[in-house]
Structure 1
Amino acid sequence: MPVSADRGPSAAPRSDAPRRRPGPPPWVAMYHSVGDCSHDPYRVTVSPHRLDRQLGWLRRRGLRGVGVRELLAARARGEGQDLVGLTFDDGYADFLAHALPLLRRHAFGATLFVLPGRLGGDNAWDPCGPRKPLLSAEGIRQAAAEGIEIGSHGLTHQDLTRADDTLLRAEVNDSRALLSEVTDAHIHGFCYPYGQADRRTVDAVREAGYSYACATTPGDLAGPYALPRVHIGERDTAWRLHLKRRLHCLRLRPVDGV
């Protein structure tokens, strides 16, 4: 008597089920501070005027800026080709004053990666740059209430590829726990300080319970815990944005699982 192919959990999976091929890497834009660019040695600041024009450029091309979690969820459904991830690193206080109103104007979302170990402090890790205030816990809650996804940028902005095991766990695990308390919500995303990641830091982020992590140029690393991003600054006019978007898709291999 032949055995049924549907005899229970131990049955072999069907081999004729279509498998979705890896798609092109999602385009994720990396911003930092939004404000005065007159003294910006690290080129991490974009003026409100320039940001407004950049967001308008996206919208005129039928693209919509969203947080990274929303982008990845759409990609998992086989959708989201018209979505662009917008990320703002470090949690500068000027996000509320300058970036958030522009995001509202264009009906865009974003992910804000913050440092719960420096709440209300400043960017002390930039020795040559002007001191810029960081968001307080209340400021982070205000951004979250406006629909902005909150993610972790570590506790204090350390290069995690040089951290020992104790510091790595604190920066990755403790920052997630603190932000969960601040926002009263689950923290899904992590952003590697300085964009630096290696296999050890990727494993630590995955084991801490994050759903994804953003880098800058992750090298041989790939997948949802090493998402590449494109730096966007004050010099990025419409033509430069066009080139950056094209090059981002051409230079990177397809991303499996994204």
Structure 2
Amino acid sequence: MYHSVADRPAAAAYGLSVTPSAFARQMALLAERRFTPVTTAELGAAWRSGVLLPHRTVLITFDDGYEGVHRHALPVLREYGFPATLFVSTGWVRGPHEAPGACDTMLDWEQVRQLAAEGVEVGGHSHTHPQLDQVPDARLTFEVTRCREVLAEHLGTAPVSFAYPYGYSSPRVRRAVRAAGFAQSLAVGNGLAHRRQGPYALERLTVRRTTRIEEFARLVEGRAVARTFAGDRALTKGYAVVRRSRQVLGRVTGTRVRD
């Protein structure tokens, strides 16, 4: 899971960014070790149909829709013939429907269309990037359906894959994503994706600015994943308790709906 690809990202995007040179080295490693990238849609279709995936399958995904995905990542993906999946928050794309809140310079619609034309699957990431498990039903439905409608309007076809903003979801959120017409959705989890997770809670590994090439190599080989992300998992578990408490408080006060 990537976010921004930039030499000088905005401060808010820095930690989850990678430099263009680091991204190029990481893609070269995938090619050298004969990994086969597929899109999220291809993964979902293969698992539903029972078709065997290629040996050493990997997903390359980008969240949010930063401009550097077009400027820096696309030429590298093109060089290796690698497909990828871009999950865009449609309200953050520059142009019609633009809303405030983006952390850095984002893609415009022409760039999104070019990425799609060059083999990048474009999926949904909500409209304005809220924490979907913390919003009321009406806002949840709007965020998911509006995102799908805007993508269909600009790309000519409705997306089939979704990624939860911040990685947060709940049974209620997953039902809304499915009801909107998405066939599969990705969380974060910082674990390897397995069929048993179900099509609406597939996990990914975060690539950060601090991810060294040796660590990246171990992660894509499936080695030392739990140890690498032990701190993240502990924080996630602690924050999950906080989030559940917020939801309970919301139900008592009437400001949130029950999952």
TM-score by length of 1: 0.76
Could you tell me which of 186, 194, 208 is aligned with 1:214? Answer: 186
Query: Does residue 32 of the first structure (1) align with residue 3 of the second (2)?
Result: yes
Match of 2:72 in 1: 98
Query: Is contact 2:65–2:92 with CA below 8 Å preserved after alignment?
Result: no
Q: What stretches of structure 1 of length at least 5 have no aligned partner? A: 1-29, 252-258
Distance in structure 2 (CA, Å) of the matches to 1:135 and 1:183: 14
Change (3 A) 1:135 1:38: closer
SS in structure 2 at match of 1:243:
helix
Paired residue type of 1:232? V
Matches within 5 A, 1:139-178: 139-178=111-150
CA deviation digits over 1:90-139, x for unaligned, max 9? 1111111101001011211100111112221799647xxxx511112222
Q: Structure 1 pair 73/80, CA: closer, same or farther in 2 (3 Å)?
A: farther
Write the letter of the residue equivalent to 2:198: G
How many angstroms does 1:72 deviate by?
3.0
Q: Which has the larger radius of gyration?
A: 1
RMSD: 2.5
Identity %: 37
Matched residue type, 1:149: E
Structure 2: any 5+ residue segments left out of the alignment? 230-259
**Secondary structure of the residue that 1:215 maps to in structure 2?**
strand
Q: Which amino acid aligns with 2:33?
A: R
Match of 2:209 in 1: 234
SS in 2 for 1:231: coil
More helix by share: 2
Corresponding position of 1:243? 218
1:82 aligned to which of 51, 56, 61: 56
Instruction: Give distance in 2, aligned partners of 1:111 and 1:151.
Output: 7
Equivalent residues of 1:197, 1:218 under 8 A apart: no
Q: Quick one: which of 66, 91, 95 aligns to 1:117?
A: 91
- Structure number with greater CO (CA < 8 Å, separation at least 6) is 1
SS in 2 for 1:117: helix
The one-character-per-residue Cα deviations of 1:62-94 (angstroms, maximum 9, x if unpaired) are: 102232112333444022332200100111111
Q: Is the 8 A contact 1:123 1:134 kept in 2?
A: no
- Aligned AA for 1:120? R
